Amino acid sequence: MKTMEPTTAPPAAAPDVKTMTLIEAITQGLHEEMERDERIFLIGEDIASYGGVFKATRGLYEKFGPLRVIDSPISENFLVQGMVGAAIVGLIPSPEIQFDDFISLAVDGIVEHAAKMRYRSGGMFTCPMVIRCCCGAAVGGGLFHSQFNASWFMHAPGLVVVAPSNPYDAKGLLKSAFRGQNPVLYYEHKRLYRTVKGPVPQHDYTVPLGKASVVREGSHVTVVSYALMLQRSLEAAEKLAAEGIEVEVIDLRTLAPYDKETILASVEKTARAVVVYESSRTMGVGAEIGAMIAEDGFSFLDAPVRRVSPPDAPQEPFAPVLADQYLPDANRIAQAIRDTVAY
């Protein structure tokens, strides 16, 4: 099986590179794409003069005006259903779902219309749109401001689902999303907005959709993850390196369609796999990845595929002492890796 080359950000000291937070990279990506293509417009709750609840659209209203940065009614259903219409007549809308917890109100538009538009019309119509969605736990948001529901939409053929873990990928994946012909769900983990920094080129570049990245090479075990859990998996890998366990870490970047080739090439090398994900354990993102490895990579394995995830609970509790037990941390991930290597 072919070994995939690592795909990484440029060194911070490279020319024309700036260290940015993840949210700064997203804002810059939106700015550049709106300058590049006048068909692109943004719409969402409080995104115009207020700049969005997390300020991801700060400055864009002043730059592009009220026809391209639009405050919407508080209606996630309208945000998607209306933008499907805009997309099929030639515009490229980017609705913002303020919190993933409220995306259930837009599921009909996303799954039944946007995802199926190309298929149902025999290719006569496409539905290019980028649905930006703020998501994720570990910020004290409680039951209705902490959800990460990406696994719901991995079940819907026709959708591209993206979840970056760092500023370089955040900008590059966003730009690729705007340049395709498919509806893209672009997940932004709010815990990462200002806690992760990294080098971001100031020139035009893209990161391909559907291509994972080997962000840390190792020989003893493969860890597959994305978004916040990717960062915690890297922290666990650093801990284990001191114990002589070399962990290869793969950042999925795109959850649907995900990169089977890169995952299987790594598992062929390491013979062990751990999948770390932020969704319910049962039928979550990692359940699919684990099943694929067991089905297509069984002959490589020296140990069962292990999943590390939150429990099958409705969502992160608000009480801090309970919230701390909900999401896997680096210590919990590290112990799962130790157990897999020792099997």
Q: Which residues are catalytic?
A: 145
Alpha-carbon span 12 to 179, nearest angstrom: 26
Run of H or E including 130? strand 129-135
Residue 81: CB partners within 8 Å, gap ≥ 6?
Answer: 106, 108, 109, 113
Contacts of 46 (CB under 8 A, 6+ apart): 52, 53, 71, 98
Q: Which residues lie closer than 8 Å to 323 by C-beta, 6 or more apart?
A: 137, 138, 140, 316, 317
**How many beta carbons lie within 10 A of that of residue 329, not counting itself?**
14
Whether the Cβ atoms of residue 212 and residue 122 lie closer than 8 Å to each other: no
Tally of CB atoms within 10 A around 86: 18
Nearest alpha carbon to residue 126 among 116, 138, 117:
117
Structure tokens at 5: 């080359």
Q: Alpha carbon 309 to chain centroid distance?
A: 16
Helix or strand holding residue 268 (H, E): helix 260-270
Tally of CB atoms within 10 A around 231: 21
Count CA within 13 A, CB hemisphere, residue 284: 22
